[in-house]
Amino acid sequence: MMQQKRPFPYGTLILSIVALVSVPVMIIRYLYGLGAMSNLSDGRAWGLWISFDLYCGVALAAGGFTLAALVHIFNAEKYHPVVRPAILTAFLGYIIVILALLVDLGQPWYIWHIMINWNIHSPLFEVGWCVMLYTGVLALEMSPALFERLHWRIPLRFIGMIQIPLIIAGIVISTGHQNSLGSMLLLLPYTLDPLWYTPILPALFFVSAVAVGPAMVILESTLSGMAFGHAVKLDVLSGLGRIIPFFLGIYLIMKLADLAAAGQLDMIVNSYPQNVYWLAEVIVGVVLPMVLFSIPKIRNNRAGLFGTALLVIGGLIFNRFNVSLLWQEIRPGYTYFPHWMEFAVSAGVIAWAIIVFMLAIRLLPISEHRGEAEAPAGRVPEAAAS
Amino acid sequence: MSKGVLYDGNRCIGCRSCQVACKSWNRNPAEDTTNKGGYDNPPRLSATTFTTVRFREVDHNGKFHWAFAKTQCMHCLHPACEGACPVGALKRDKDTGAVVYDDGRCFGCRYCMVACPFGIPTFEWDDPLPWIRKCTFCSGRLDGGLEPACVTACPTGALQLGEREDLITEARARISASPDKYVDHVYGEKEAGGTSWLYILPVPFEEMGFPALGEEAPTENPHIAMRTLPYYAGGVVVLMAGFYWLTKRKQKLSHTGDKHGKKEGVAK
């Protein structure tokens, strides 16, 4: 499958360069400490890596559990072709999180301390366990693709047997995880801006993750369709586009009702400049996509779907940056803007993940539409598990 | 009952003996600093400086004040860092009230630094094997019946170790004895759920860089969230299993009589 004629792979070249640049940067970090390659300080102990790789990475991996629930629990057969790519994307999202944490943590080799020293009151304790457990679950959920490729019947049948419990476990762990990322911010009642701080942050995190999950699947399907020339049927993607406004609507109502209940609706107008960030996040990332996804003309058009999905994703990323970085007070006397090496690590980690993703797509039966363009969904023969 | 220290801004003379004592007791090296015009030196807390004295020129009630404030870990009654730490490396000692750090558990996530409403914990940024560092309330000295190094070194009695409750009474007495010399507020009595270190000052606390905090302990909301999490997770399990059962059942019902239906079960 590798010998088809292709133009010079500029994309792959750039990816490889970005991936390789991150290697010496990581070496600098382990030799000279975090201070040598980041602008993190006592004033700003968490920066780009936590906001982007952890907060956004986990949220953007939500496609995995939302699609798994949609197809395997709610039995929406139609979306079956995108489950595996969605779970693969989620898996890679978690790999990104773990790789970034290996750089960000002071002493990552002691991460196993979290298994023996429990502080069950810490939201980060929950987050840590969820990252470990869910990565394991995702690996198991992905494993049929590998076993099919290797024609290993017995493990395949075993995974098939535990498939539904596995999927339910995945849903529970990742819902808990999305929640707990919000709970982490609950410890900051005095440093997170009141426009964002609310006791219902965990619920907001969860609902927005559910909304962004299908949007990520649209994005990922469109991109890999362009890269590999096997587009997912439009009908599937516009179906996803139909689901998203529903969850965005719940999210919007929760956000507004929460501010209203706290008697703080006036902050939307008064708390300049925070309100500009808040409004940008809500209007561009929530209200606008709700409108666009509701217009059939846009929903039944690949470019329209792709663009609107990007708005949802952009809005979520902006939200996570607002709460985890921009509107968290910095200690007096400090400033923070990420060092170029911080960007290099974040970009490098993503480049590594995309390389793995492309290899997986080429080598494993991930996409069920290999080389069939828009032909009626003929399935690649599959064993019991999927 | 737990210990506390009362800092009296009217007794402090800004001599920095506390800083020196702290450095030597904790074997922290001196820091290279540059003169940027202020008196604060070192300018702020760091992994090798657990306490500094702040110097500010303050105009209060039409009077000029050359005011001081020692800064260090406040040793909260409900520490945000303790609630944050996933591995329990930061713990409040119930007897002394000291919030102490155990690097045998830590793996350097720095959530404590992010969570602390007073901005206290620091990190060894230039060390490839970094740990968190902060004031320990000299908990080893307390256990041995000694005062913290800084309290011992203070020549004017601006720092006073005692039972927290007694110190609050004492602070109130000093304020009411000379109300024109103090701002009528004991900082730390209620802030963020209360702290072991307490402050009375001749000038408003914001002027000296103390954050204006409410009375709610920062650990309150996350504790509620973490307590409800198991029920929430249980609910999701039941809900998902229930929906799965329902959709399968519906499928089965619609497939009865339809012989070429797929093998029932895990198929798709």
* Residues B163 and B71 occupy one common structural domain: yes
Asked if residue A160 is part of any domain, the answer here is yes
* Residues B50 and B154 occupy one common structural domain: yes
- Tell me the C-alpha distance between B23 and B53, whole Å: 13
Q: Domain range for residue B258?
A: 219-268
For B89, name the nearest residue in chain A, comparing CA atoms only.
Answer: A117
* Residues B205 and B250 occupy one common structural domain: no
Domain count, chain B: 2
* Residues B121 and B142 occupy one common structural domain: yes
Asked if residue B106 is part of any domain, the answer here is no
* CATH code where residue A259 lies: 1.20.1630
- Tell me the C-alpha distance between A316 and A305, whole Å: 17
Distance of CA A24 to the CA centre of its chain: 26
Distance of CA B78 to the CA centre of its chain: 8
Q: Domain range for residue A62?
A: 45-329+339-363
* CATH code where residue B144 lies: 3.30.70.20
The answer to whether the CB of B8 falls within 8 A of the CB of B42 is no
* Residues B187 and B250 occupy one common structural domain: no
Q: What is the mean pLDDT of chain A?
A: 89
Asked if residue B102 is part of any domain, the answer here is no
Q: What is the pLDDT of residues A279-326, one digit of tens each?
A: 999 999 999 999 999 999 999 999 999 999 999 999 999 999 999 999
Asked if residue A385 is part of any domain, the answer here is no
Asked if residue B166 is part of any domain, the answer here is yes
Asked if residue A373 is part of any domain, the answer here is no
Q: Which of B109, B124, B232, B252 to probe the A interface (max A CBs under 10 A)?
A: B109
Q: How far is B165 from chain A (nearest CA, A)?
A: 25
Domain count, chain A: 1
> Within chain A, what is the greatest distance between any pair of CA atoms?
64
Q: Does A77 touch chain B (CB under 8 A)?
A: yes
ipTM of the complex: 0.89
Asked if residue B74 is part of any domain, the answer here is yes
The answer to whether the CB of A302 falls within 8 A of the CB of A234 is yes
Asked if omega into B130 is within 30° of 0 (cis), the reply is: no
Q: Which of A119, A120, A329, A379 to probe the B interface (max B CBs under 10 A)?
A: A119
* Residues B127 and B259 occupy one common structural domain: no
Q: What is the pLDDT of residues A94-144, one digit of tens each?
A: 988 999 999 999 999 999 999 999 999 999 999 999 999 999 999 898 888
* Residues B189 and B223 occupy one common structural domain: no
The answer to whether the CB of A89 falls within 8 A of the CB of A61 is yes
Measured between beta carbons, which residues in chain A are less than 8 angstroms from residue B92? none
* Residues B125 and B12 occupy one common structural domain: yes
Sign of CA dihedral B126, B130, B133, B139: negative
Asked if residue B13 is part of any domain, the answer here is yes
Q: Does B235 touch chain A (CB under 8 A)?
A: no
* Residues B144 and B232 occupy one common structural domain: no
Residues forming a β-bridge with B59: B64
Residue entry with tokens 């070496």: A27
List, run by run, the mean pLDDT of 10-residue segments along chain B (268 residues). 94 97 96 90 95 96 95 97 96 94 95 97 96 96 96 97 97 96 97 97 96 95 92 92 89 68 44
* Residues B161 and B192 occupy one common structural domain: yes
Asked if residue B109 is part of any domain, the answer here is no
Measured between beta carbons, which residues in chain B are less than 8 angstroms from residue A120? 226
Q: What is the mean pLDDT of chain B?
A: 93
- Tell me the C-alpha distance between B236 and A1, whole Å: 42
